[in-house]
Amino acid sequence: MSEEKKTNYDVIVIGAGPGGMTAAMYASRADLSVLMLDRGIYGGNLNNTAEIENYTGFKSVQGPDLAKQMYEGATQFGADYAYGAVEKVELIGDEKQVTTDMGETFTAKALVIATGSGQRKLGVPGESEFSGRGISYCAVCDGAFFKGKNLIVVGGGDSAVEEGAFLTQLAAKVTVLVRSDKLRAQPIVQDKAFKNPKMEFVYNTSVTEIVGNEMAVTGVKTVNNQTGETGEIAADGVFIYVGTFPMTEPFKDLGILNEKGWVETDEKMATKVPGIFAVGDVRNTVLRQVATAVGDGAIAGQQVYKYLEG
């Protein structure tokens, strides 16, 4: 007779990125029963990051490698891990009931939301049509398909510039299209990129359409935001990094989101609903980095224990 699957926990952590895994580690180390739920592989956006140079203790570390180490730390004290995209969260008395797209239902006394953020789309003609046929939102995932090719990166922040630099290891040339007159990336990131002979920056430029043939992307149509001049740039692939949005759809009825959809918490990572906490990129916060997510997770893991003890 097979063992019945466990469905009731002290705490459920929704999302297994750096913040969620840290919260799970702290909570399970306090001898709480913990379930980590994630719609994909553990690590979250770490798996889409080639190289991390600003995480304390590492001169440089590959995102997927750090994700593996964090996962091993998160599960060493007995935390369970399961696949499943959360579709609904309901409050039943003091318990929180979580339903996944797999039709599974789990309950817990406390909840930690660590669902992170997703990549925004440009919303221009051709983006949906050529998704997976030359359009990507993840250089680490798809860069190997473009060896020796000419690529376009859309965006001017840290992600756009860092992932553009990563792509130069594979591509013949990377052209970065920036809608304003300067980059938003950190100075150290900019300095490295400007020294890269394979990178070119085009400012005050927006993409109006992504074009291609029956097989794949062939380029983008552009407009100069100052002069109104239109143009077209040939490319074999387009990588888009134009910001993020909160992954909070399952929590919209809980009264814990602000007008833009980010989760509001206090300094203890607690939301307005007793027993529901949030950590990492999903929070309304001034900085979204691995280091801040880990810090959030440590606080939440401890506060969950204090909440349950109280």
At residue 292, the 3 state secondary structure works out as helix
Catalytic residue among 31, 65, 141, 181: 141
Distance in angstroms (rounded) separating the CA atoms of residues 19 and 180: 32
Q: Give the residue among 241, 243, 235, 242 at the shortest CA–CA distance from 175.
A: 235
With 0-12 / 13-18 / 19 or more C-beta atoms within 10 angstroms meaning exposed / middle / buried, residue 168 is middle
191 classed as catalytic: no
What does the block give as tokens for 196? 């890269």
Annotated active-site residue 141? The verdict is yes
Long-range contacts of 147-152 (CB under 8 A, 24+ apart): 147/171, 148/172, 149/235, 149/236, 149/237, 150/175, 150/234, 150/235, 150/236, 151/175, 151/235, 151/236, 151/237, 151/238, 151/239, 152/176, 152/177, 152/219, 152/220, 152/233, 152/235, 152/237, 152/238, 152/239
Catalytic residue among 142, 236, 281, 296: 142
- Please confirm, yes or no, whether 31 is among the known catalytic residues: no
Nearest CA to 221 out of 127, 114, 115 is that of 127
Q: Residue 115's closest CA among 9, 46, 38? A: 38
- Both tokens of 247, joined, read 């992954």
User: What are the residues whose beta carbons fall under 8 Å from the beta carbon of 79, sequence distance 6 or more?
Assistant: 13, 24, 25, 27, 28, 34, 35, 36
Catalytic positions, please?
138, 141-142
